[in-house]
Amino acid sequence: MFKGPIPALVTPFTPEGGVDKKAFLELAAWTIGQGVGGIVPCGTTGESPTLSHDEHHLVVELAVEAAKGKVPVIAGAGSNSTAEAIELTRHAKKAGADAVLIVTPYYNKPTQEGLYLHYKAINDAVEIPVIIYNIPGRCVIDMSVETMARLSLLPNIAGVKDATNDLGRVLKTKRACKDGFCLLTGEDGTQLPFLAQGGGGCISVTANVAPKLLSDMHAAFAKGDIVSAMSINERLMPLHEALFIETNPAPIKYAVSLLGKGRPDVRLPLAPISEGAKEKVKAAMAHAGLI
């Protein structure tokens, strides 16, 4: 259903601190033109925790406008409030998004049954494909393969963005879930081995600045040109690492600014990256041939 590199787009801000609509549209259009498999507005990389509801709605609408039906839009619509997640999902469908990305509820720490009921409520409320976002490092909870398999039987639960960094889980999930369940990694550095284990693509931070290279890597793998895919992967690995040297999305917003595609500003409580981190990001961008 969804495949290839799919940038989790940053949300550029104006000097006054609002959403920079022009910069967002240009960034989205540029990545699409570089061959990505879709775009994700309002994910963690898009600073969804600090966007107001009006801003969140706006960014999803801008993404649909930029995509123009050329690639799917997977709109971030998660919340640790089920009612809020349903509202954001309803808006995404109304705006024309092709799917939603729903993060496991953070802070509340629901049980596996609570996770099941959360996603079932969204499945029952809105007819739109739902991608589960499992990221224990940020949310503290980890959805089990068994719970995911149970959810995969629901008609609108379409796949997972797996950010567990557990490559053994890919095949376990594939075997446990329904046929056609979409497997996407949320860890840039695992893209190639994830594909080798049966995954379909990556919701990617790095694709904000290296969409063409990642598109080429996925295409090479699909054609069986493993040597070329590995070469690109090795070229990008220092960048994958540098973009998480401090809390995402501060490093990627700085990297985007090096390409002249948006300001590096992030909203509090995130802070701009340190001078030392800037040098490492800049060096990694240069190593990849992007600057």
Question: What amino acid positions are annotated as catalytic residues?
Answer: 133, 161
Q: Assess if residue 273 is contained within a domain.
A: no
Query: What is the rounded CA–CA span in Å between residue 76 and residue 92?
Result: 8
Q: Closest by alpha carbon to 285, among 228, 224, 240, 218?
A: 240
Q: Assess if residue 39 is contained within a domain.
A: yes
pLDDT given for residue 48 in this prediction: 97
Question: How confident is the model over 233-243, as a mean pLDDT?
Answer: 98
Give pLDDT tens digits for 56-94.
Answer: 999 999 999 999 999 999 999 999 999 999 999 999 999
Q: Assess if residue 277 is contained within a domain.
A: no
Give pLDDT tens digits for 104-120.
Answer: 999 999 999 999 999 99
Give pLDDT tens digits for 132-182.
Answer: 999 999 999 999 999 999 999 999 999 999 999 999 999 999 999 999 999
Q: Closest by alpha carbon to 213, among 228, 198, 197, 196?
A: 228
Q: Closest by alpha carbon to 30, among 260, 278, 288?
A: 260
**pTM of the entire predicted model:** 0.97
Q: Assess if residue 281 is contained within a domain.
A: no
Give yes or no for residue 101 having a pLDDT over 90: yes
pLDDT given for residue 198 in this prediction: 93
Q: Assess if residue 265 is contained within a domain.
A: no
pLDDT given for residue 95 in this prediction: 98
Which residues are CB-contacts of 155 (< 8 A; sequence separation ≥ 6)?
123
Give pLDDT tens digits for 208-237.
Answer: 999 999 999 999 999 999 999 999 999 999
Q: Assess if residue 236 is contained within a domain.
A: no
Give pLDDT tens digits for 18-55.
Answer: 999 999 999 999 999 999 999 999 999 999 999 999 99
Give yes or no for residue 268 having a pLDDT over 90: yes
pLDDT given for residue 179 in this prediction: 94
Express the helix, strand and coil content of the chain in percent, nearest 5 each: 50, 15, 35
Q: The CATH number of the domain where 76 resides is what?
A: 3.20.20.70
pLDDT given for residue 253 in this prediction: 98
Q: Closest by alpha carbon to 161, among 24, 137, 238, 93?
A: 137
Q: Assess if residue 282 is contained within a domain.
A: no
Query: What is the rounded CA–CA span in Å between residue 153 and residue 171?
Result: 18
Which residues form the domain of 12? 4-224
Q: Please give the span between the terminal C-alpha atoms of the chain, in angstroms, as a whole number.
A: 33
Cis status, amide bond into 238, omega within 30 of 0:
no
The count of domains in the chain is 1
Give yes or no for residue 271 having a pLDDT over 90: yes
pLDDT given for residue 224 in this prediction: 97
Give yes or no for residue 1 having a pLDDT over 90: no
Q: Assess if residue 111 is contained within a domain.
A: yes
